[in-house]
Amino acid sequence: MEKIKIVIAGPRGRMGKEAVKMVHSIDNFELVSVIDHKHDGKMLNELVDFTQYGNTPVFSNIEECLQKSGADVLVDLTTPEFGYIHTKTALQYGVRPVVGTTGFTEDQLKELKTLAEEKDIGCIIAPNFAIGAVLMMKFSQIAAKYFNNVEIIELHHDQKLDAPSGTAIKTAEMISSVREKKEQGHSNEKETITGARGANKDGMHIHSVRLPGLIAHQQVLFGADGQGLTIRHDSYNRASFMSGVKLSIETVMNVGTLIYGLENIID
């Protein structure tokens, strides 16, 4: 079987390190280069924490990287700003993006979807790569058909830049697709401190917690007369995301459009 040639953008990040480790552990994956803005021209094994990984070239410029690497797939684990640029550039070069960066706008997603379909190549953007988190979202969507009152609490480490998380936003979007829009709480409720009720999405409230020691956690709370239902997922380390990255790499090779969310490729 021919190996899938992979570029990883953001290898020194916490997710990036796990992705490098995962790619090296899969027989039919080959890491052909990485993109890192600080170490252009070096080899990956010259970087701290990567001495065991061989002579994989490091590029700072994505176009140069894609021109020279012969990559099939770009795995982007950077930031929303660079994630969008990297995804668009990869599609233009005929390289299939697998993106774990959140924060894309609806207009950006539409633009990238159009480009992917013009090129007839796959692109997968996933707010969360943990299979359990995707199941949590799917289960919440099912529950929302029967429980109209719902709030989302997402908890992450204190270095996370965006709030609410992409997973929380995606969960709310999935719930909204089956839930009649409803403003929750008392009609005359008043926040005595601004933001106390969290963000509002179609009447649902989303609360973001940021504390050191956390990784990625979310609970979806449903309430009805005389009963409650809580659906919760916890990622205790970043290895929890790698099964979804692997699945996305394998899947993106066989589709010709943009897929937003792992729930669309999990039966």
Q: Which residues are catalytic?
A: 156, 160
Query: Cα–Cα distance between 2 and 198 in angstroms, integer?
Result: 49
Q: How many CA atoms lie within 13 A of 20 on its CB side?
A: 26
CB 124 within 8 A of CB 265: yes
156-to-30, 32, 165 alpha-carbon distances in Å? 31, 32, 8
**Do residues 117 and 256 lie in contact, with contact meaning Cβ atoms separated by under 8 Å?**
yes
Kindly state the helix (H) or strand (E) to which residue 153 belongs, with its residue range: strand 149-156
Preceding peptide of 11 cis, ω within 30°: no
d(CA 184, CA 257): 37
C-alpha distances (whole Å) from 5 to each of 24, 31, 69, 121, 249 are: 11, 6, 8, 15, 10
| CA-CA-CA-CA torsion sign (95, 99, 101, 105) | positive
